Structure 1
Amino acid sequence: MTNSRELERKERLIRLLHRLRLEEDFNTLLVYGKDCLFHSLLEPLKIPSVIVASSGPNFDWNFSSSTLILTCEAAGEVEESPQTLQKLQRSRYLVLIAQETHPELVCKDYNLKELFNVAMVKPNFDQTDVIYSCRFFQTPNYEKVNFFENKPIYIENFQNMKGFGIRTVADSMPPRTIRYVDPNTNQLKMKGYLSHLLNTYNEKVNATLEFLNLSKKATIQDISRMAVEGVLDIATGVGSSLQHSTMDTISYPYLLTSYCLMVPKPANVPFNLVYSMIVDPVVFSIILALFWIFSVLLIFTQNLSWRGLSVSNLLFNDKSLRGLLGQSFPLRNNPNKHLKLVIFLLCFASVMITTMYEAYLQSFFARPPSEPFIRDFPDIANFSHIMSISRVEANVLTGANNVHFREINKDQLLIYDNWTEYLSLRDSLKTNFIFPVTLDRWECFEEQQKLFAKPTYYLAHNLCFTQFMFFSVPLRKYLPHRHLFEDHILRAHEFGLVKFWKARSYFEMVEAGLASLKDLSQKQKPQSLLLEDISRILKVYACAILLSICFFILEVFEYGRVFKRFCKFGRR
């Protein structure tokens, strides 16, 4: 009878293992404890198995992730290796407990070790067909499941946490996290594209957020330390890839961004420089060559001879100069056809030249070009702007040995130890400083500047400390529902929720009173020409007048000599 009952018990346990494999396939069996009933099941199952007679605190078990753990000693595992504990946490347990052992105590012991996929059977399983499955968020903390019932033995306990609290700490970094007190319930709540992620996750798993009271505003260093120490579950903040070397205490990347400089837009070129800008040296050389060519042609076609050709007539031909400037000039009666053709070409050239420069001048006056842009990091020293950065960011870039950060002259750096003061300066959008900013934060500034009469900053894509940086949410190392949270991150991206939340960031800051709809750009006076705007032209005009006076005086002296000679000749 004993052997027959033993065979019946083995047969029923084998059928149970087959059912568990149908619920969720596994390819490895891990058997804990000394020789027990489970050991005799390994040969007929023909599944790769690992037998652990006594677990050790420092040994790392490299078993497959799809593993079913069989144990004859409830909560007898003593592993302390972080890699092993993480693998055990997601694995399913089937425990053979003594007849007198109460399942509630076994579930409690496993829950304290944060192992929740636990089912138990007693030695009389072949007679009762009862499986005791642990249920964490209920009282009692287990459920009796009949082998022949169509009910799952293992469930995802954290799909419904039934109001269980998730400990969190908010970094209060708008627009990612905006803390506010709900006037209706007088409760602390959050919004922002990171806060919405946690809020929707809490709704999904039916949990509540428990904000840890801090005497001071938490920094990302404080949050990361609390995640390592296991003080919080999921942080309402993000840590960059520049700060974390492993992903043990951070989640799957939430944001993929770049880290670049936000640079003030260059001022417009003053109007007094516009006149010189429209005169390109190459074009001016071509016009000067045309002037001399037309001078030669006019001299030759006057009488179809070279008798009037001289240096002064070539270099200072008033007819050619007037023609190129679109002015009239005297011409003899009945000019020959050669002269008419030259005049026609001269008039056509004058129309083209004056129209071109008139268009340039009007366009530059209506919308003057800007001054030079910063091309690279060493080029910052050639400009009057100073780069402002927080001590936290400077330490991260220094610790990461960032090449571009080392290229910046130390005299061009203004490092703020006070994080709040630095953020206040950056949010003011004063054009005296250059600020490092992530792409997701820049999108909020870009949305704000759409309300400005003229944008004050632009994102310099050629001035990036890194083009590939991801932000992840800090969480404690052995968070049992990490996989659900990371799945929620992926689904939020898949359905476009993250993009939608980020698009609303600026207006949520306005609602919270952290931003305004005011135009923070420098108010510009109506553009009108002043005397200083035409100062260069007036100087050139004065020089030309003086030169003309000099030529006039020389001509007067020359005519005076001719008149004296004529008088002497008349006396004779």
Structure 2
Amino acid sequence: MALGWLVLIFCCFGQLSAKLFNVTHTTDLELEDRLLRVLSRLNLEEEYNTLLVYGEECVFHSLLRHLGKPAVIVASGSTNYDWNFSTSTLILTCGSDAEREENSNTLLKLQRTRRLIHLQENSQPEEICNQYSQKEQHNIAMVKSSFHQSDTIYSCRFFQTPNYEEEHFFQDQPIYIENFQNMHGAMIRTVPDLLVPRTMVYRDRKTGQTKMVGYLANMMNNYVRKLNASLEFINITDLGVQKASVVDIMNWAKEDILDIGTALSSSLQFKSTGNVWYPYLLTGYCLMVPVPAKLPYNLVYSMIVDPQVLSIIFVLLCVFSILIIYSENLSWQNLTLANVLLNDKSLRGLLGQSFPFPPNPSKHLKLIIFVLCFASVMITTMYEAYLQSYFTRPPSEPSIRSFRDIGNFSLKMAISRMEVNVLTSLNNSHFREINEDHLLIYENWSEYLVLRDSFNTSFIFPVSVDRWSGYEAQQKLFAEPAFYLAADLCFNQLMFFSPPMRRYLPHRHLFEEHMMRQHEFGLVTFWKSQSFIEMVRLGLASMKDLSHERKIEGSLLLDDISWILKLYLGAIGLSICCFILEISRCGEICSRLWRCWR
């Protein structure tokens, strides 16, 4: 009897267990079916091609065989490798504390990746959103174990209270949004580098607020307005700095003291893009060389007398002398060296002067005289044109053609210590060609900039092509340009400048897109063209002519024709000597002595 009751009890227990198993199995299947529909919807909204599953066994693992997508399962919650995940990765997390990623590079690559978290029923979405926002991960959605019954998805919303929303799966509402499209007045911390004309800080007289202008500052101001954020200028005096340099701003970005620096660090200053990202400017790094001085007027005569042209004129003199001597008597009897070199008709004819014409000349002599006169017209016209042109605008002194030529000039290259350190660390071949004796190194960056802005023509300055555009605009007000950009003297032909940013800035992608759009619409080019006007308006530049204009006299001075006078006196002295030798019959005396000696 007791045995029968025991068998009956076991049968009832078996039936009850089977029913409970069927219910649990049916519940799991419904949950899996709902989650598959969620993943399909996420794939339609933004296609993903890789699944990354964190945590131990949960319902997400059983979904993988139905999705047909490559999957990486990280049961320990962290990877030891620098995974090169594609940008279309979806992260599935089994529990709020399942993801414990420690690899910094992987965290950076997966920062904006969408995450779907499976929560226990007693978990609070608000706490989970706070937990992930501290890690600056904001594309978070959560489902609970009862999702197949409630169809409720919890999505994190960073700039609101409460920091999440409950959304019904079948409602036409986005699960993930761009949280930083509207920051609701949240602060973006920055530090300006105060390098004109890209960043110029001033205090508004009406509001008393600190503001900044410039082609870099304007880009930052527009970005803040676009995100409905506010700009916070960090007090650098609390950091022990009076004026921030680019190196300081880069270090503060690495230390997460600021979000985006209103500064530009060049590609020569960093080796990785961890703190410096998309380039804002592409430019070169060349030399700003003083315009060579004009030659003094007394050297103009030597400039127009080219040795090759003189050689041609001397050959013409000899040829015309020989032809005239032969055509006069149709013989070579009078052909001597003295008659060829000192032929009166040929010499005076080439100089454009009149000379005695023989009576009854032959046709050959007429033709020779005609060609001689034509040559004299060409020669005198050519030299007169050269002389007048050079007197109107004298040619310049020799210019620097290579880095090695700097040592052959009296100019020195002024450069800051920071630039020297960068060029030395890069082992720049052009910089090594310059001797240290021809370098003037400034330890203080501000003093160096003041010297360069003063247009001191005693020095050569390295400058970016981008900064040169401002100097070029200012020199349009000068009577004469003081400097020119030596495009063939560049340390680096292609160098890009990027704003320093902290490593895990969550809206970095929006900032990069904003920079590209500013260039696409031509705003950066327009701001650059207005830079000098802004500098003048803020009193950072003047419209004063800083060039050293050459003083032009009303007429030629005696010093301007000094070489002509010296040549004239030398020729007169030589003529007097020849005349004295001639009247003293020195030639006859020399001939007698020669005959006696023989």
User: Would the TM-score normalized by the shorter structure come out above 0.5?
Assistant: yes
| Cα offset, 1:254, TM superposition | 1.2
For residue 69 of structure 1, the aligned residue among 91, 94, 103 is 91
Q: Which amino acid aligns with 2:509?
A: H
1:568 matched to which residue of 2?
none
2:573 to 546, 549, 556: 546
Q: Counterparts of 1:60 and 1:329 in 2: how far apart (Å)? A: 96
Alignment match, 1:265: 291
5 Å matches for 1:270-419?
Answer: 270-419=296-445
1:55–1:78 contact (8 Å) kept in structure 2: yes
Task: Return the alpha-carbon distance in structure 1 between the equivalents of residues 39 and 332 of structure 2.
Answer: 116
CA distance in 2, matches of 1:349, 1:124: 109
> Are residue 252 (structure 1) and residue 278 (structure 2) matched?
yes
Q: 2:478 aligns with which of 447, 452, 460?
A: 452
Over the residues paired in the alignment, what is the CA RMSD in angstroms? 1.8
The answer for the alignment partner of 1:17 in structure 2 is 39
CA–CA distance in 1 between the matches of 2:49 and 2:77?
21
8 Å CA contact 1:377–1:408 kept in 2: the answer is yes
Shift of 1:57: 6.8
Residue in 2 that maps onto 1:143 = 165
Whether 2:266 is the aligned partner of 1:240: answer: yes
Matches of 1:455 and 1:406, distance apart in 2 = 29
How far apart are the structure 1 equivalents of 2:262 and 2:110? Answer: 27
Q: Distance in 1 between matches of 2:582 and 2:73?
A: 118
CA deviations over 1:111-154 (Å, ceiling 9, x no partner): 11111000111222222221111000111111121111111100
SS at match of 1:90: coil
Q: Secondary structure at the match of 1:415?
A: strand
Residue identity in the other structure for 1:551: C
In structure 2, relative to structure 1, the CA distance for the partners of 1:291 and 1:124 (3 Å cut) is same
Q: How does 1:129-168 map to 2 (within 5 A)?
A: 129-168=151-190
Aligned-pair identity in percent equals: 62
- Deviation of residue 435 (structure 1)? 0.4
Equivalent residues of 2:95, 2:120 under 8 A apart: no
The equivalent of 1:507 in structure 2 is 533
| Worse-matched range after superposition: 291-300 or 280-289 | 291-300
The whole-number CA distance in structure 1 between the counterparts of 2:585 and 2:357 is: 25
Question: Residues 490-501 of structure 1: matches in 2 within 5 Å?
Answer: 490-501=516-527
Contact 1:58–1:79 under 8 Å retained in 2: no
CA–CA distance in structure 2, aligned partners of residues 186 and 423 of structure 1: 28
**Cα distance in 1 for residues equivalent to 2:286 and 2:386:** 35
Q: Does the CA contact (< 8 Å) of 1:28 and 1:67 recur in 2?
A: yes
Note the C-alpha offset of 1:516: 1.3
Q: What are the superposed Cα offsets for residues 530-558 of structure 1, whole Å, 9 maximum, x if unpaired?
A: 21111111000001111111222233334
Moved more, 192-201 or 62-71: 62-71
d(CA) in 2 for partners of 1:503 and 1:344? 61
Distance in 1 between residues matched to 2:259 and 2:587, nearest whole Å? 104
Query: Matched residues in 1 for 2:584 and 2:85: separation?
Result: 111
Pick the aligned partner of 1:440 from 453, 458, 466. Answer: 466
Give the counterpart of 1:486 among 512, 516, 536: 512
Q: Which moved more, 1:494-503 or 1:118-127?
A: 494-503
| 1:106 is aligned to 2:132 | no
Match of 2:101, SS state, is: coil
Structure 2 counterpart of 1:503, which letter?
Answer: S
SS of 2:207's equivalent?
Answer: coil
Residue type of the partner of 1:546? G
Between the aligned partners of 2:370 and 2:232, the Cα distance in structure 1 is: 88
Change (3 A) 1:139 1:4: same
Counting matched residue pairs gives 562
Report if the CA contact (8 A) 2:79-2:102 is conserved: yes
CA distance in 1, matches of 2:50, 2:571: 97
Structure 1 residue 223 corresponds to structure 2 residue 249: yes
Structure 2 alignment gaps of length 5 or more: 1-22, 590-598
Whether the aligned pair in 2 keeps the contact of 1:167 and 1:212 (CA below 8 Å) is yes
Q: TM-score with structure 2 length normalisation?
A: 0.91
Q: Partner of 1:51: helix, strand, or coil?
A: strand
Tell me, yes or no, if structure 1 residue 475 matches structure 2 residue 497: no
d(CA) in 2 for partners of 1:26 and 1:73?
Answer: 21
CA–CA distance in structure 2, aligned partners of residues 284 and 505 of structure 1? 52
* Range 310-319 or range 79-88, more displaced: 310-319
**Offset of residue 214 of structure 1:** 0.9
The 1:507/1:27 distance shift into structure 2, 3 A limit, reads same
